[in-house]
Chain A
């Protein structure tokens, strides 16, 4: 809505090719039809999950998921929320994801700043070490980390298990260590597109490293930071491998693991699971929809550089 499209305005250059007005509209129609079909195809599985979650199991078992509804209710949502204690698990997820995102972006942007703006010696090697580290499959490092965390002792006020294992610290540390690599990579690429002169001018004016980083460079990186924050939040919120391996106390598990509580031992009510999935997915969908505005606004702002 507020998006200004950079292609639309024709300023000084006269239109070179003049395709007939009718052809344009017909092309536009085809474009819309194509996009509409693709969008619906992308949306269909989600709608199906929502649809299934609103109907009793007996009904879908008898008529299939693709039948007309006979009873619709939110009963499954109440049941999913209460049965699995989702409120508690949701808080657990936030305890890990919110500090995780902030810490990751802070550390990563500073590393990227050092490599691209300060041009510190060995910066390229550093960039490679971080980037390559993030690209490693998680399974490569799981076992040694598990052993390591059981060996690190923490005071009681930090972890009631007295070790790093079975505490939020373990998951938080691994998440940050892992994701910093990705963010360094993206932010370094982004910072290279910012003209050097801005930081150089600040340097000439006697600004210290911190000012160059915090007051000059970071505000210019806002679009990249917003995009990364959305991505990182969803990744940390969605991840369950780390929590699964490093946390043994069921009360500390994040919300993605709580979904498993809805699976019965002998029988799984898929409609209940659908309702649970919708609840679990909701925060990430909302965060994306809310932040998307900043995201797109930031991108168009970043495009019109001085």
Chain B
């Protein structure tokens, strides 16, 4: 049995801690875990619990079963438009903004001159708060004084870019993409810089074209970045709130799940139970994506 003992010893090796080590681990690992459980997961469970009640925030808590959900799915007009807009947001960021950010990163990674200038410019919108983005969107898209209508010179028949419920979501998505692209670009650029150049050289020697090299050799080595970018894209889309809130408080074509939650909880009605039910829907959708990614991550970790 020398084999097993050797393996066991090897396994046990890194786990041999002194009492000082254990104290350091206990405190420094304990604080973040406690914070996370008390301020993130505890409240999440509480929200799930509240979604089955008709609590208004002040009086007694009454259990109402799944009534909130029934009302939500069948008798709450803004719900389905909000779901549609959230999905649209995911699709637009994922299929337009993210690939565009990747393209820009690849181009900048070729070592062009003025690369610093391009990077700074493209990343600039990321550091702006979404509320400011929403405000700038008003400067551009407003019907009467907006820059876009001025460029189009359509004074006689101005387009109300943000007021038209069929149109405004696309304008808002454009503003969100403006911010998202630079973020994706900088993440990929960082990843691309760390790719071993000899990989590309080897692929070139084997006769691979530049496109083949990128998709078959470079992109797979960027797996960690791909995962981060994917996660960020989905979260941003599900969390979207500030832009629409700054523009028109999320009404008239700009409904989002996050806005509906806030409206019900903070609004005058203070329907905390009902608002929590919407929050739980948002939670379920997010968890679907989150679990998918974590499974991916696990598989990648085992392979690597």
Contact = CB atoms under 8 A, between A and B. Distances in A.
B238 to A, nearest CB: 6
B29 to A, nearest CB: 6
B36 A133 contact: yes
A208 B301 CA distance: 27
Interface residues of B, number: 107
A181 B50 CA distance: 25
Nearest to B239: A137
Nearest to B259: A139
B32 A107 contact: yes
Nearest to A224: B190
B43 A274 contact: no
A32 interface: yes
A7 B110 contact: yes
B47 interface: yes
B36 A46 contact: no
A132 B178 contact: no
Contacts of B115: 3, 5
Interface stretch (B63-71, B161-169, B274-282): B274-282
Given A38-B122, A281-B127, A208 B18 contact: yes
B145 interface: yes
A129 B39 CA distance: 13
A300 B265 CA distance: 48
Interface stretch (B1-9, B91-99, B101-109): B101-109
B147 A144 contact: no
B130 A238 contact: yes
B36 A256 contact: no
A45 interface: yes
B124 A139 contact: no
Q: Is chain B's binding surface mostly helix, strand, loop or mixed?
A: helix
Nearest to B262: A139
B283 A209 contact: no
A137 B131 contact: no
B40 A1 contact: no
Contact of A35 (B108, B136, B194, B282): B108
B123 interface: yes
Nearest to A238: B129
Contact of A277 (B121, B135, B275): B135
A39 B121 contact: yes
Nearest to A16: B204
Contacts of B54: none
Interface string B204-244: 11000000000000000000100110010011001101100
Interface centre among A135, A143, A180, A287 (most CB of B within 10 A): A143
B39 A145 contact: yes
A138 interface: yes
A177 B40 contact: yes
A288 B190 contact: no
A129 B41 contact: yes
Nearest to A208: B21
A7 B109 contact: yes
Contacts of B136: 45-46, 48-49, 277
Contact of A126 (B24, B33, B126, B294): B33
A299 B128 CA distance: 24
Contact of B194 (A208, A213, A303): A303
B112 interface: yes
A104 B300 CA distance: 26
A208 B193 contact: no
B140 A48 contact: yes
Contact of A66 (B127, B150, B262, B298): B150
Contacts of B87: none
Contact of A31 (B15, B112, B238, B266): B112
Contacts of B122: 38-39, 42
B44 A140 contact: yes
Interface string B266-299: 1000001001100110110011011100100010
Interface in B1-60: 14-15, 17-18, 20-21, 24-25, 28-29, 31-33, 35-36, 38-44, 46-47, 50, 57
6 contacts: A7-B111, A42-B182, A45-B137, A145-B43, A209-B24, A292-B123
